[in-house]
């Protein structure tokens, strides 16, 4: 049902033409101060999209986001220390 997406950080020289990045994927955020665009693209087309984005004249650098590879499920293997600190 849901397609697998990967995040990209695209560093640009100007944010005005950066609005055209919508044709490559979903633009999530455009930072005018730091001159970057956070966007999501289909995971199966990631390499082709990165290559096409790098060819654009207003793009300085394209970085892949590793957010989906970070473990977000945590386990508490440590003992509860609240009994030591109670009065």
Mean pLDDT confidence for 55-83 = 82
Output the pLDDT for position 1: 64
Domain boundaries, the chain: 5-69
Give 17-23's long-range contacts (Cβ < 8 A, gap of 24+). 17/58, 18/58, 21/53
Q: Does domain 5-69 have CATH number 3.30.70.80?
A: yes
User: pLDDT of 24-54, one tens digit each?
Assistant: 999 999 999 999 999 999 999 999 999 999 9
Higher pLDDT among residues 1 and 31, named by residue: 31
Q: CA-CA distance, 57 to 53, in Å (whole number)?
A: 9
Output the pLDDT for position 53: 96
CA-nearest of 55, 34, 45 to 8 is 45
Percentage, residues of the chain above pLDDT 90: 68
Q: CA-CA distance, 41 to 4, in Å (whole number)?
A: 9
């Amino acid at each position: 049902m849901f397609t697998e997406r990967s995040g990209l950080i695209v560093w640009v020289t100007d944010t005005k033409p950066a609005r055209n990045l919508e044709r490559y994927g979903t633009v999530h955020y455009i930072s005018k101060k730091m001159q970057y665009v956070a966007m999501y693209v289909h995971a199966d087309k990631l390499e082709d999209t990165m290559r096409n984005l790098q060819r654009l004249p207003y793009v300085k650098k394209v970085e892949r986001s590793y957010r989906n590879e970070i473990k977000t499920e945590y386990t508490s293997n440590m003992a509860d220390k609240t009994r030591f600190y109670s009065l």
